Amino acid sequence: MSDSLINIDTSELLITTFLYILVVFIIILPPSELITAGFSIQNIFSYFLVENEEITFIRYHIKRISAKCFIHSLLPLGYIFLLLYHCNWSYGIVSACYSLFTDTPIILRFIIYICLLIPIVTSLIILQWHLNDCYRHPIVRQLRLFIQPNNQQQEQTWHTVESSINTEFRRYDKFSCGSATSNVRCYVLDSWILKCSMYHVNIAQQSTVRVELDDAHDIHLQETNEEVTLSTQYLNILIKSNDPRIKTFYIRLKATEYDDLQGKLEANIENVKNIVVRQSLSDLFLDDFRRLIVQNPKYRLPLNQQDLDTCIGCLQTNANVKLVKNCDASDIGQCRTCFCRPMWCLECLGKWFASRQDQSRPDTWLQSTCPCPSCRSIFCILDISIIEF
């Protein structure tokens, strides 16, 4: 009984502890493959959550945060059971548990007490959150800050703010960023800005915030076989409310999503640090595409075809380009003259051209060919002529 741990030395204990920490890390931050397969707290405890995020956003996240905090707080107990597995069970489970708290080194004993204390304290906090209609829950405490003074007899409650957010979240035109499998997801609604993280939901009202572009960094992806280096620019957007009670938070998104975010925000994004927002690969291609097309021979419309149709791609501008074989003689190569009426504008034809290329080889796009979107005649960039009258 004096030897509480059997067949385990210090090195084995350290390895076991490291492996358990690794398992805990995977449970708290599961890889996307596990989430896709349904092994996440949201999916496993879907019966408890009940609510759907799209329908009842606030209630869903109130329960989601509580469930995650509770489940994660139980993980230290697993370490205690792991230690009990190595105890001397010859005197029974009670004696094994007793010896674990009396015969182990003081440092390990302190860790055991912490592991027991964490779920107890967390359970009491979660219980306090859900008393009195979740009055002390972190999300509800934020919602109460947005209650507007009302001169009518019926006072507003946090449920009024909840209803406003839930209604706007159901709309299809909301902006969202962050992967579906990540622990951080951001939404911009008509009147609200929301950031959902593992244990918290930040809420800000669009009419009372200042939005600032704070930082930018590149993540490089290199394909060693082709010696092609691609990079993605990520931006950190600062959301700061005029109300000092509302905590400042950041939205992280790709540079390609920047214009969509700006289009959904009421306030302009301030760029006081003069950070250069890099365009998307398609936008960069379109810039070169326009520059090269302008150098091609122009196409003059016949006198009987002076009226141009609206571009069938965007339906906003008139068609202004014609496909005419300019790259070589008419009987050489795979390119052919297109006999369709002009139906596309330069912008839409450029987007079509880019969409038909090998997305992993952007360095070959300008030298590649593409089928006409109408008749499928093959053409290259040299065969695109701007229409002149």
CA distance 141 to 285: 48
319 and 376 in a single domain? The answer is: yes
Residue 136 maps to a domain: no
Task: Identify which has the larger pLDDT, 326 or 69.
Answer: 69
Q: Residue 335: which pLDDT band, with cuts at 50, 70 and 90?
A: confident
Condensed to tens digits (0 to 9), the pLDDT of residues 341-360 reads 888 899 899 989 988 888 77
Antiparallel, parallel or unpaired: β 384-388 and 299-300? parallel
Condensed to tens digits (0 to 9), the pLDDT of residues 313-331 reads 888 888 889 888 888 777 7
Residue 321: burial class (beta carbons within 10 Å; 0-12, 13-18, 19+): buried
Residue 60 maps to a domain: yes
What pLDDT score does 366 carry? 85
Residue 226 Cα distances to 186, 220, 360, angstroms: 35, 15, 10
Pick the last residue of a domain from 278, 308, 338: 278
297 and 239 in a single domain? The answer is: no
pLDDT at 180 over 70: no
**Would you give the distance in Å from CA 64 to the centre of its chain?**
18
Residue 157 maps to a domain: no
The total number of structural domains in the chain stands at: 3
25 and 121 in a single domain? The answer is: yes
State the CB neighbour count (10 A cutoff) for residue 146.
22
- End-to-end Cα spacing for the chain: 101
180 and 264 in a single domain? The answer is: yes
Residue 268 maps to a domain: yes
Condensed to tens digits (0 to 9), the pLDDT of residues 81-99 reads 887 777 766 666 776 677 7
Structure tokens at 115: 């592991």
71 and 122 in a single domain? The answer is: yes
Average pLDDT, the chain: 83
Which residues of the chain form beta strands (DSSP E)?
A: 175-177, 185-188, 192-196, 201-205, 209-223, 228-241, 249-254, 269-270, 299-300, 321-323, 369-371, 378-380, 384-388
What pLDDT score does 152 carry? 57
Task: Identify which has the larger pLDDT, 307 or 176.
Answer: 176
Residue 242 maps to a domain: yes
354 and 375 in a single domain? The answer is: yes
Determine the average pLDDT of the residues in 273-302. 84
Pick the last residue of a domain from 225, 251, 278: 278
Residue 150 maps to a domain: no
Structure tokens at 384: 């695109």
Residue 147 maps to a domain: no
**Would you give the distance in Å from CA 33 to the centre of its chain?**
16
265 and 300 in a single domain? The answer is: no
What pLDDT score does 220 carry? 66
How much of the chain is in helix, strand and coil states, percent to nearest 5?
45, 20, 40
Contacts of 185 (CB under 8 A, 6+ apart): 176, 177, 178, 179, 195, 196
What pLDDT score does 4 carry? 46
* Residue type present at position 302: P
179, HSE (Cβ side, Cα atoms, 13 Å): 8
* Alpha-carbon dihedral sign for residues 289, 290, 296, 299: positive
pLDDT at 2 over 70: no
Per the structure, the complete domain to which residue 270 belongs is given by 167-278
303 and 335 in a single domain? The answer is: yes
24 and 123 in a single domain? The answer is: yes
> What CATH number is associated with residue 226?
2.30.29.30
Which residues of 133-208 form beta strands (DSSP E)?
A: 175-177, 185-188, 192-196, 201-205
Pick the last residue of a domain from 278, 312, 331: 278
296 and 233 in a single domain? The answer is: no
244 and 273 in a single domain? The answer is: yes
Rounded percentage of the chain residues whose pLDDT exceeds 70: 86
Residue 29 maps to a domain: yes
83 and 112 in a single domain? The answer is: yes
| Poorest-pLDDT segment among 49-58, 132-141, 188-197, 251-260 | 49-58
Q: Residue 29: which pLDDT band, with cuts at 50, 70 and 90?
A: confident
